Structure 1
Amino acid sequence: MANSNTDITKESFAKVNLADTESEKITGESVSAWKDALRRFVTNKGAMASMIIIAAIVLFAIIGPHFFGYDIDDQDVSRANLPPKIGALTWIPAFNGYENGVDIYKEKNVTKNYWFGTDQFGRDLWTRTWKGTQISLIIALIATLADVFIGVVYGGVSGYFGGMIDTVLQRILEIIAGIPNLVWIILLMLIMRPGLITITIAILATSWLSMARIVRGEMLKLKNQEFVLASRTLGAGDGRIIFKHLIPNSIGMIIINTMFSVPNAIFFEAFLSFIGLGIRQPQASLGSLINDGYQMLQIHPYQTLYPGIIISLLLICFNIMGDGLRDAFDPKLRR
């Protein structure tokens, strides 16, 4: 039996003098979908660290080639195959200018330090590495623009209108996707020289296909929603509905897929340059630098090391940041 001292009576409660409208007010802060996604992205330590690393690489790609005043093709065989040397870090074996216990700089009477060393033609690898990073980032930018301006529009029109238009556009897409990227490059090389323009055309021809499929699926899912019917009832045209309502509602998927297409484009360019179908001398990309260094790998491994580290960081960081954006924009994946 309950103790009489703890019995609940009418006098135990006091009425709060609160207006009826007060109970209907939202006590919590109103947070938009974009602000909520940003907040969750910022709390993702891996994604934030990846974004900082990517920003640092982009910054060095812009200012790095101007550090020492060398051009990308400044050759001097008297300084060929110099190991990396940084004056303030000579206590670290990797940056003391020694190779097999011999001070190569003293042996060749070289007074300047080369932070990433030099290649077999005496060209500064610091300058060439960051110039090559520029090329790889330009390729990534081209892939991003192709995704946004070709893939989004193509997929949006195909999914929204449906019917015969969708059938024709999808058959065209399947024909393009049925031709491997390497075949595209070989066909282009029959009429063009290998280089940045050839790779750009190959990327513009094929990189947007996955984006078009994703946007088409989003259009098919959203076009019968109530807000689309309301917009059409108010007199909105097809173009306004697609670009003002449907695509903005698919922006999360678009951003996520774009972030994953960037490392694919960088790897595609590096692969082509490595097998000799991409950037040609005297220009450089990360792939061509790795190819050049691969020929000297057993004798001078540093010539492959630094381009390899940068391209690995780019691929890993873009993928981690893409995962972070996916977690941020998809509430179902919220941790």
Structure 2
Amino acid sequence: MAAANESITKDMFLPAELDQSANEKISGEVVSVWKDAFRRFVQNKGAVASLIIVIAIVLMALIGPHLNNYGPTDQDLNRSNLPPRIAALSWLPFFSGKEDGIDVYQQHGIKKDFWFGTDQLGRDLWSRTWDGTQISLIIALIATLVDVFIGVTYGGISGYFGGRTDNILQRILEIISGIPSLVWIILLILVMKPGLIPITIAIMATNWIAMARIVRGEMLKLKNQEFVLASTSLGASHSRIIFKHMIPNSLGMIIINTMFSIPSAIFFEAFLSFIGLGIREPQASLGSLINSGYEVLQLHPYQTVYPGLVICLLLIAFNLIGNGLRDAFDPKLRH
């Protein structure tokens, strides 16, 4: 009780020794937007696995046709419709070289293996599958890059200037999007022969519309931000503000939409080739290979399985990568 009754004096308190410079120190690690997005993308196991699958397919598309002695257009009717056979995996039913219990290779007197089998003209499906994958990826890549360029430029100008410019450009956009893509294809086929260039142009004709609308929305959101107003007050030109300040700040959305555009272009090419409006013989694409195998699906299903498996892996993998990038760049999903 005596201690409780002691009076509190000023001598009992001493000033705390504080370093004023400590207030200026940042307690955590400084992480840039791109580094943070990369960390969060790597944590997405599905997206990383999909990226590995895409890289593996691209590598096989480049080196696959050169792994054996058969070109994608080499024909030999003596080896037509051979089932897949790999000597080291002959214990597996899918690579035994047998159909209905009959050794087709022994029946035709063929000693060499065809890993994916052959088609009706005796062409090696291994070489044709990877060569077709290469063509499909080239078409999708060219179409997507051009779509990004047109869509970003068109959407950036429309959203930045607004007013009458935006109104006119958006009405043009609505007219173009109102015409079905298949109509564009048929019109191009009437003018040009089916092939690599017409199908690429056809995909580019309408795929950029989604990118333009997304970039326009980003421009409308960013053009009233402080950094844009500061650049305007310093006398920066319109082109510099759009392409040096606003587009880089929209790069996350552009990358995400690009990753979704690639599988869309691959599927569109496969669909057109499947219905006979795309790649023609003797060239091969994934869609044309599926179309050829569809004709003998009940007798020789392997001719459809392998190109179908490749296109399914590409579509699923690119979509998962797009989802992973969307989650990585979206600040609302940060924990």
TM range (shorter): over 0.9
Structure 2 SS opposite 1:74: coil
Match of 2:205 in 1: 205
Q: Note closer, same or farther for the CA distance 1:309–1:15 as it changes in structure 2 (3 Å cut).
A: farther
Q: Does 1:309 align with 2:309?
A: yes
8 Å CA contact 1:143–1:261 kept in 2: the answer is: no
Structure 1 SS opposite 2:216: helix
Q: Take 2:278 and 2:264, find their aligned partners in 1: how far apart are those partners? A: 15
Match of 1:284 in 2: 284
Deviation of residue 16 (structure 1)?
6.2
Match of 2:233 in 1: 233
Deviation of residue 88 (structure 1)?
1.3
Q: Take 2:269 and 2:200, find their aligned partners in 1: how far apart are those partners? A: 9
Match of 1:137 in 2: 137
Q: Take 1:125 and 1:135, find their aligned partners in 2: how far apart are those partners? A: 15
Q: Deviations over 1:13-68 (max 9, x none)?
A: 99764411113311211000010000000110000000000000000000001111
Match of 1:151 in 2: 151
Match of 1:179 in 2: 179
Q: Does 1:164 align with 2:173?
A: no
Deviation of residue 122 (structure 1)?
0.2
Match of 2:28 in 1: 28
| Superposition map of 1:62-211 within 5 A | 62-211=62-211
Which of structure 1's runs of 4+ aligned residues deviate more than 3 A?
12-18
Deviation of residue 174 (structure 1)?
1.0
Residue identity in the other structure for 1:175? I
Q: Take 1:206 and 1:292, find their aligned partners in 2: how far apart are those partners? A: 28
Q: Take 2:78 and 2:119, find their aligned partners in 1: how far apart are those partners? A: 11
8 Å CA contact 2:260–2:318 kept in 1: the answer is: yes
Q: Take 2:24 and 2:36, find their aligned partners in 1: how far apart are those partners? A: 23
Q: Deviations over 1:298-327 (max 9, x none)?
A: 000000000000000000000000000000
Residue identity in the other structure for 1:32? S
Q: Structure 1, unaligned stretches of length 5 or more?
A: 5-9
Structure 2 SS opposite 1:208: helix
Q: Take 2:239 and 2:92, find their aligned partners in 1: how far apart are those partners? A: 61
Deviation of residue 231 (structure 1)?
0.9
Match of 2:222 in 1: 222
Structure 1 SS opposite 2:255: helix
Deviation of residue 187 (structure 1)?
0.6
Q: Does 1:245 align with 2:268?
A: no
Structure 2 SS opposite 1:306: helix
Q: Does 1:54 align with 2:57?
A: no
Q: Deviations over 1:227-273 (max 9, x none)?
A: 10011112211011000110000001101111111111111001111
Q: Take 1:76 and 1:14, find their aligned partners in 2: how far apart are those partners? A: 98
Match of 2:270 in 1: 270
Deviation of residue 334 (structure 1)?
3.0
Structure 2 SS opposite 1:81: coil
TM-score for both structures, normalised by structure 2: 0.94
Q: Take 1:13 and 1:309, find their aligned partners in 2: how far apart are those partners? A: 77
Identity %: 72
TM-score for both structures, normalised by structure 1: 0.94
Structure 1 SS opposite 2:191: coil
Residue identity in the other structure for 2:206? T
Q: Deviations over 1:85-135 (max 9, x none)?
A: 112111111111111111111110111100000001000000000011011
Residue identity in the other structure for 1:126? W
Residue identity in the other structure for 1:266? I
